A and B are shown apart, each in its own frame.
Chain A
Amino acid sequence: DTAVSQTPKYLVTQMGNDKSIKCEQNLGHDTMYWYKQDSKKFLKIMFSYNNKELIINETVPNRFSPKSPDKAHLNLHINSLELGDSAVYFCASSTSSGRVTDTQYFGPGTRLTVL
């Protein structure tokens, strides 16, 4: 059983479109995250939710909107896609937010290509 899963694995779309990436974790964790890895391989936090409540919102354009229908799911919706949004997006989860000894479990990533 995959602990953290993401769909789709690959997403190719045109500029200006709206798309969503879904994430589910079956670990019973309370906290979920979205990270972005750009073409230079730098990984950066975007958002974090704890029990469906937004707790981290880095300086991300408001075209990106996370939605957490329940604590096992954290979806990422992106409006008006731009070329610079092309990246690999990773979802992660952990038992809590902010506890320094917590381990984060990452999904396999979604490679988004905007043409």
Chain B
Amino acid sequence: DAKTTQPNSMESNEEEPVHLPCNHSTISGTDYIHWYRQLPSQGPEYVIHGLTSNVNNRMASLAIAEDRKSSTLILHRATLRDAAVYYCILRDDYNTGKLIFGQGTTLQVKP
């Protein structure tokens, strides 16, 4: 399984944008990049996913490098509710659906 590397922790101020990086230098051509987050005392929740092009949804944006060896999850205006552990996960056709979680990035949002 291809691996991802994320910073252990990041801090942000409320209402400011947050850029959460993820390195995946061994990504293969068919790997999708998924992001999930886990709010305190809750189960993980899906945030966004992409393959090659940048993606936007109501929660966040995903910027994927041209060589696909890194990606950035962008929260446009962080709120206190966005404080969570953010996981960058690679998925391919052969993993039978399982999500392989790394350590993730713990995001703290300061008021």
Q: State how many residues of chain B have any CB contact under 8 Å with chain A.
A: 26
- Report if A109-B32 is in contact (Cβ < 8 Å); known contacts: A45-B99, A97-B96: no
For the complex, give the distance between the alpha carbons of A105 and B43 in Å: 9
**A48–B43 touching, CB < 8 Å:** no
Interface size class on chain A is 20 to 34
A residues whose Cβ falls under 8 Å from a Cβ of B: 4, 31, 33, 35, 41-45, 48, 55-56, 58, 90, 92, 94, 96-109
- 22 pairs across A/B with beta carbons < 8 Å? A35-B99, A41-B103, A42-B101, A43-B87, A43-B99, A48-B98, A56-B96, A56-B97, A56-B98, A58-B98, A90-B44, A92-B44, A96-B97, A97-B97, A98-B96, A98-B97, A102-B97, A104-B36, A104-B46, A105-B46, A106-B44, A108-B43
